[in-house]
Structures are given as structure tokens and as C-alpha cells.
Amino acid sequence: MSSYRDLLKTRGVARIIAAQLTARFPNGMLSLAFLLHIEHTYDSYGVAGLVLAALSIGQAIAGPLTSRLMGRWGMRPVILTAMIICALAISTIALFPLGIAADMVIALIAGLSTPPIQPAVRTIYPKMVNSSQLTPLFSLDASAQEIIWVLGPVIVTFVSIQIGTVWGIMLAVAFLIGGGIWFLTSPELGRVRIPRSKRKLGVVLKKPPVMLATVVGFLLVAACAAIEAGVVSTFGEGGAEAGIVLAIFAVGSLVGGLSLGHKPIGPWALARRMAIVFVGTAIAAAWLNIWWLAVFLFVAGIGIAPALAVMFAIVSASVRFSDTAEAYGWVGTGQLIGAAVGSALAGFLIDGIGAVGAFLVAAVLALLGFLVPLLGKRFHPDLRGRDASPLPDTEPVATITG
């Protein structure tokens, strides 16, 4: 734990982690807020699903595009413009019910304009700490983001039910704007400029570690989405048990990230961490009892944040600095698609054979998430004793100090 204490004492690290988590807090709120609001407005979960699908499609498309634009126009202009458009689009859905088709179009715009906070901050990290601190920093970041998924749904559900669904959405907008301004005013954004990439969009995916992280990230998040659907189906939407089990699942990820984040990253690192997720998920599927699920989903969770941290590190160590934001954008897109696919597959199996079907889907996805890095070991960089910082570009990178 001393490595994390040293990290948080490093200039700007605690501030930038807190700012980006606040700015990304709507990620844990918007899906549920839209679900509650659209269902309340149109009395249809099907319509709510269409609006959420449009939002997810927009976010998936935006990932690499807005990330790449940061190298062309700068981080602050891109994030600020996206934040304003996204906030206006989300607010329009909350305040002005314009019809199903219009709400879908506006949700697509909201997704397309989602501020690229995550690619930006993961591009900044290598410039804030020394090489020995970078992997623990990625792990700390992956662990801390569990706060978004634990507190976000709880807060937005409470506000939407107790006060109103419009207020639930507008609270997410408040986090988006407040956290975004905090992040934009952080000095670190002014000290680092992403060089303009000279490569075509998507070329970075030819880097095997980037593709490996994108595919495994897709499978990991798909498995998590299936687990969430299975837990909700097991205990019902209104049951406190579902919230308790999912919170324990997230706490497992937090504990795993803090416990394993300082471990050296060898060529087997990603496979080992995904093995933890698979074993915990497979055993959890055997008995849908609250305590059984709580214990073994906690075990499965232990591998999640460490696996994400490994993905961030191998991407960072494998691409040029000018390509890091786009690379993280593709990884994020893979995860967003995974969330949609995992939920959809789980839904089909739940309708067919019951809640256990979702856990079987999750176990299969987690198994694939273990096999891909196991069979693709030769594409996994060995970062033991090696700097995980991005490769330098061939031309000088401007750094502003002051």
C-alpha cells in the first residue's frame, strides 16, 4: 500500500484522479436515469431500450474519433466542446419530451459527444509519474472507477424515485459539467500536448497489444454486464439483495486492484487475472443463493480492476505517444460494445431458461476472456523491469511548464 501512498503524494495525482472520476460519474448514472425517465414518459421499457441503444451506439462510435481529435485540436477544446453538446442533448431529453424518434436522435448525439475524459487522463498519466509508478497508477485508477459503478446507480435511483426522473438526469448533467470544468482547469492538461498523429484512423489497431486489450476488454465487460443482468433477474429490480450483491462484486474489484496493482506485469499477467474472473463466475453460477453469489462474485471481482490495469499498461507501452488517446478510445469502444452484447445475450438466456442463463453466458465470456490472452501470450508485452510509458514520437513533443 505504500506505493499508493507515494502515488497520491505525487504532485497533481490525487487531484486529477478525483476530477476525472467526478467528470465520468454520469457513466454510472445515465443508463439507469434514462431507463427510468423514458419508461415513465412513454410507459414502455422497449422504448427505453431503443433510446439507450442509440446512446450506446453514439458512445461506441465517438471513442476513437474524439480521442484522435485531441491530437489535432488539443485536449481542452475537444473536451469542452463535447461537454457542452452532450450536456445540452441530455438536458433536452429530460426537459422536452419530443417523441420517440427525436429522443433516439438526441440520445445518439449525446453518445457521439461524450467527452473523452478517460483517453485524455490515461494519456496524461505517463507524463505525471516516473516509470516505476505508472503500472500502480493504472491499477489505482481502475480500482477507483468502481466508485462510479457502486454509487452512481444508487444515487440516481434514489433521486429519480424520491424526487423525479427529470432531477435524476439533471443531477448527472451537474456531475458532467462540474466534473468536466474541474478536469479542464487542472494544470496537468496545460502541461501536456498530444502530438498530431500522422497515421490513418484505425491503424493503431494493427498493434497486437492494442487489439489484445480491445478484445479482452470487450469480453470482460460483456461478462460483467451478463452478471449484472443475472443478479437483477435473480432478485428482482426492487430487491435490496441485487444491490448488495452487485456492490460486493464491485468491492471485490476494488480490493483486487489495490492488492495486485503493484505486481510486475509479465506475459501471463492478463491471462492470470482473467482466470480469477472466470473461476469466480463459473462457481457463482452453480447456486443462485445470495450468500453464495456474494462470496464468489467477490472472488470474480478481484480479477477485474487488475485485468483492466494490465490492458491500460500494455497499450501504453506499445504505441507512440501521439497514438495513445486513439488507442484508449478503441479499447473503450470495445468495452461499450461488450456491455451491450453481454446484456443482450444474458436477456435471451434469461427469457429462455431463467436467471441461471445469464451466469452461464457470463462464465463462457469470461472463459473466452481467459483463453484469448492465454493463446495470444506472444502478443502480450513483458513489462517486468521495463518502462510502461508510451514510445516517443520521432519529433519533439512540446511540453508546457509553469
CATH code of the domain containing 3: 1.20.1250.20
* Same domain (yes/no): 144, 274: no
pLDDT at 97 over 70: yes
Q: What is the mean pLDDT of residues 185-203?
A: 80
Q: Say whether 320 sits in a helix, a strand or coil.
A: strand
C-alpha cell at 356: 441461471
Query: Does residue 399 fall inside a structural domain?
Result: no
Q: What is the mean pLDDT of residues 47-53?
A: 80
| Res. 397 pLDDT band, cuts 50 70 90 | very low
HSE-CB for 321 with a 13 A CA cutoff: 18
pLDDT at 132 over 60: yes
Query: Does residue 72 fall inside a structural domain?
Result: yes
Q: What is the mean pLDDT of residues 273-282?
A: 97
Residue that terminates a domain, selected from 196, 216, 232 = 196
pLDDT at 217 over 80: yes
Mean pLDDT for the chain overall: 86
Helix axes 304-316, 290-302, angle to 10 degrees: 20
Comparison of pLDDT for 46 and 337, the residue scoring more: 337
- Which of 29-33, 50-54, 250-254 holds the top average pLDDT? 250-254
Smallest CA-to-CA distance from 134 within 306, 309, 259 is with: 309
* Same domain (yes/no): 160, 301: no
| Res. 192 pLDDT band, cuts 50 70 90 | confident
The total number of structural domains that make up the chain: 2
* Same domain (yes/no): 213, 355: yes
Q: What pTM was computed for the model?
A: 0.82
pLDDT at 401: 46
Q: What is the mean pLDDT of residues 17-26?
A: 91
C-alpha cell at 53: 441503444
- Domain range for 278: 197-391
> Could you tell me which residues are beta bridge partners of residue 320?
391
* Same domain (yes/no): 333, 184: no
C-alpha cell at 332: 473503450
Say if residues 149 and 96 touch (Cβ distance below 8 Å): no
* Same domain (yes/no): 188, 210: no
C-alpha cell at 237: 429490480
* Same domain (yes/no): 233, 361: yes
* Same domain (yes/no): 210, 308: yes
User: What are the tens digits of pLDDT across the range 248-273?
Assistant: 998 898 899 888 877 889 999 999 99
DSSP H or E segment with residue 323: none
